[in-house]
Structure 1
Amino acid sequence: MLNSTSLPTVLEGIDVWDGISHLGSTDLHWEFTSADAVISRVTPTDTPARGGLTLIPGLIDTHVHLIGNASSTPSDFLTWPLVTRPEEQVLHGLAHAQQALAVGVTTLRDLSADDVQFSLGRGINKGLIAGPRIFAHGMVSMTGGHGDMFVPPGVDPSLRRPTADGPDACRSLVRTWARAGATGIKIATSGGLLSDGDKPSWRNHTRAEIDAIIDEAHALGMLVAAHAHTREGIRIAIEAGADSIEHATDMTEDLAHAIAAAGTPIAPTLLINDAIATRRVPVSEDQAEAAATLVHSRDAQFAVAAEAEVNFVLGTDANGFHVGFGDQLAEVRKMAEVFGWSAERALQSATSRAAAAIGRADALGRIIPGAAADFVIVRGRPWEDISDLDTARIVTVVSRGRVVSGELPR
């Protein structure tokens, strides 16, 4: 059990960017509450800030997949979970989580979770071991949909994730995930790029099924994240009232305006789609071709969407195979480049805006009283120059009030 006895709870005279704007030299105080810690005071000071250092909120990746091979032993992306026991998988998930934490990502949202991620999140939240905050969404997939076909077709059906067909079965699976400890639900309104067998253009679930899933999730206080690559998938996700859209790769200008009007956050997952399209990572010819088709005009469309003020937030789709759990900072820099953003807008996408996207606007991604004591100290001023948001410039990572990487400046 982690112990807070004699740990520091104050940092004086540090330059602070609070998740939205620059505060200047600040005295920061926090206090421990059981296995957690919250910021208690944020006070401007005349004390000169520590030279060259900036404190920012811990980053939030709204779209990851923790369970995958975290070792250096080569493995197949699709079959590894099928040949690795859950007891061992949780250790790989923890390794991935701690890799992200070491580069300042203090919160992760897993968008295809089951009891492995639920258990991992509970263990970390109870202070058994250091790790980022984990929010875990159970997926409701149809038979033959994105998720169900994420394994080779010859695999014993009993080893596949549960699926649901028909509105009543969909409601039942939402309730099952809620009972197991899910903090949200994921659906698919289009096919995927990495699924073994389906295509991005395939419809996933009927509107009646999607409406049932979202209604039931909302009734149980859970947000719904919708995987959607295609225009039709994006449109369905908007109309059905999904709380976030993942990828949105083939977004058009009219869809961008609809998304902006709805205020729906989008996780664009740029690096992984680029990696698949260019075959920078091992993928099949079909997967690379499908990705290349989708990303062909993506950057230009996304730039238009950013101009329309679509609320893009950090979501990498990191899985340890196609995108690593130390690549979040590179994703933020890529977002700034593609969207034509200021450094401050890019940093907001990984802090305050990402926190709001997962329903934790007041508790995460900010340096304000009452928010979690999760923060990162870096060399430079990343809200002015996004290139300063780099793993090589990280000095200290604090999670739940405890230093988990580096040390506090003296």
Structure 2
Amino acid sequence: MHRITAHLWNGERDLGPSTLTWATDETDGVITGIAPADGTSAADTAGASAAASPFSVIPGLIDTHVHLMGYAGRGRVDFLSWPLVTRPEEQTLHGLANARTALVNGVTTVRDLAADDTQFSLRRAIDDGVVEGPRTLAHGMVSMTAGHGDLFTPPAFPLRKLLADGPDECRKLVRHWARAGADGVKIATSGGVLSVGDKSAWRNYTAAEIETIVDEAHALGMRVAAHAHTTAGIEVAIAHGVDSIEHATQLTLEQAERIAAAGITVAPTLLINDRIAAGEAGVTPEQAGQAAELIAARDALFAAAAAAGVDFVLGTDANGHHVRFGDQMEEVRHMAAVFGWTAERALQAATTRAASAIGRESSIGRLDTGHLADFVVLRGRPWERLDDLDTANIVAVVSRGRVVAGSLPA
């Protein structure tokens, strides 16, 4: 049995000085109890009374939108050409490095939204304890010819990702991902920013194709995440009953009210679009221009949407290039500033609410008896002062009941 006594925030509220106990088996760790601390317990790992302890415990963060297979080296590479000239075996090592970086920076669960057999293999290796990384969910991409997903590959390049055109092909590709072990699928209902020659206003898929994708995914117990920047793309995603909308940059207030009523979650991916619009990380003038046009009115739209009850959750679009693995806490702070949130509401977006968004609310995102022992020990009280939510304040990260970064205060 393991224990730590410190100030505890459980994913929803401040529990005050508490003792958290957990047990670890061969594969996982489970929280066995949370009890108020008496302030003088010898179990107080801070070496002083829990009330005076500088340490806090919060659930591990959950990033609902990442791309693990991005360059993780020390230098800079071209974002678009690196995947085309790098063998899958080598990309897997970069993906593992990105996963490890996320973990030591307090992110204990990620959802990869452009996965294939490489990510499925990495997820299995992490689950089996072969390598160390965050809990990983993986969605296969269902993209049309000349769609947002396809336009990351130049026309003359012979190796293209799997594509589907027409309802029958779409249904078959969803089934392919289900058989391969995907947790869900991702579609695009608008164009993108980084894909070559793409236009955010381009339609991706017909109504019949999207209806088929969502129907088949839900029939197979898989969630559907929809990439959508434009108002028109968001409208299509709402109409077809997707489970989450990624980016939602030009979300209107009327759409926000329907999204809130439908329980659709939104990952706003603020940092990546801000950085692209600012011309950072080697983006082209065309990419910067597209992003700048998209985000021109974004912050005001998002603030209104948050006030209307839209469930915004942490989703960074981290790819190791424009957004690094380890930037998640910065994204949470930025979300609070844009949405006008309290520190506690911002933390919920990265813990309990993010867990619900990926269908894992019964096991992660909250510190409670029976939940999995994924948590972060850090200095400060981030639910009161969000500036305390900073990687520099991390003391230890516990994942699957084991200390994977730092050390527990002793």
Shorter-chain TM-score bucket reads: over 0.9
Match of 2:2 in 1: 9
Seen in structure 2, the aligned counterparts of structure 1 residues 372 and 121 have a Cα distance that, compared at 3 Å, is: same
Correspondence for 1:29 among 21, 37, 41: 21
Distance 1:231 1:20 in 2: 32
Q: Are the counterparts in 1 of residues 170 and 209 from structure 2 also a CA contact under 8 Å?
A: yes
**Counterpart residue identity of residue 28, structure 1:** L
Q: How does 1:380-391 map to 2 (within 5 A)?
A: 380-391=380-391
Q: Taking structure 2 as the reference length, what is the TM-score of the superposition? A: 0.96
Gaps in structure 2 of 5+ consecutive residues:
40-48
Where does residue 189 of structure 2 map in the other structure?
Answer: 189
Deviation at 1:34, TM superposition (A): 2.8
Pairing 1:214-253 to 2, within 5 Å after superposition:
214-253=214-253
CA contact (8 A) 2:24 2:402 kept: no
Per the TM alignment, residue 130 of structure 1 is displaced from its structure 2 partner at its CA by 1.4
1:203-256 CA-to-partner distances (Å, cap 9, x unmatched) read 001111111111111111111100000001111111101000000000111111
CA contact (8 A) 1:66 1:97 kept: yes
Is 1:78–1:152's contact at 8 Å kept on the other side of the alignment? no
CA distance in 2, matches of 1:337, 1:355: 22
- State the distance in 2 between where 1:169 and 1:221 align: 19
SS at match of 2:151: coil
Q: Give CA-to-partner distance per residue, 1:348-401, whole Å, 9 cap, x none.
A: 000000000000011111001111100001111000111000011111100101
Which ranges of 4 or more aligned residues in structure 1 deviate by more than 3 Å?
A: none
* 2:140 paired residue number: 138
| 2:98 pairs with 1:91 | no
SS in 1 for 2:372: coil
C-alpha contact 2:225 2:242 (8 A) present in aligned 1: yes
Match of 2:327 in 1: 327
Partner of 2:66: 64
Alpha-carbon shift at residue 87 of structure 1 (Å): 1.1
> 2 CA distance for matches of 1:71 and 1:281?
14
- Structure 1 unmatched runs, 5+: 1-7
Q: Which amino acid aligns with 2:384?
A: E
Partner residue of 1:274? 274
- Distance in structure 1 (CA, Å) of the matches to 2:205 and 2:25: 43
Give the secondary structure class of the aligned counterpart of 1:149: helix
CA distance in 2, matches of 1:73, 1:392: 23
Preserved contact between residue 140 and residue 174 of structure 1 (Cα < 8 Å): yes
* Structure 1 residue 286 corresponds to structure 2 residue 280: no
1:86: Cα distance to partner?
1.1
Counterpart of 1:143, as a letter, is: T
Instruction: List per-residue Cα deviations over 1:129-168 (Å, max 9, x = no partner).
Output: 2110010000000000010111222211xx1100101111
In the alignment, structure 1 residue 18 sits paired with structure 2 residue 20: no
Please, what TM-score do these two structures have when normalized by structure 1? 0.96
Match of 1:153 among 128, 138, 155: 155
- The percentage of counterpart residues that share the same residue type is 62
Q: How many angstroms does 1:79 deviate by?
A: 1.4
Q: Matched residues in 2 for 1:154 and 1:73: separation?
A: 27
Q: Which residue of structure 1 lines up, in the alignment, with residue 54 of structure 2? A: 52
8 Å CA contact 2:8–2:15 kept in 1: the answer is yes
In the TM superposition, 1:358-369 aligns within 5 A as 358-369=358-369
- Given that 1:200 and 1:230 are in contact with CA atoms closer than 8 Å, whether structure 2 keeps it comes out as yes
C-alpha separation in 1, matches of 2:57 and 2:342:
19
SS in 2 for 1:34: coil
- What is the CA deviation profile of residues 291-332 of structure 1, one whole-angstrom value per residue up to 9, with x for unaligned ones? 000100000111111111110000000000111001000000
> Partners in 2 of 1:322 and 1:121 — Cα distance?
23
Match of 1:3 in 2: none
Q: CA deviation at 1:337?
A: 0.3
The two structures, once aligned, show a CA RMSD in angstroms of 1.0
- In structure 1, how many angstroms separate the alpha carbons of the residues matched to 2:212 and 2:2? 46
Which SS does the other structure have where 2:195 is aligned? Answer: coil
Using the alignment, how far apart are the partners of 1:167 and 1:120 within structure 2?
30
Question: Aligned AA for 1:39?
Answer: I
Match of 2:163 in 1: 163
How far apart are 1:23 and its partner, in Å? 0.6
Q: Residue 409 of structure 2 aligns with which residue?
A: 409
Aligned to 2:180: 180
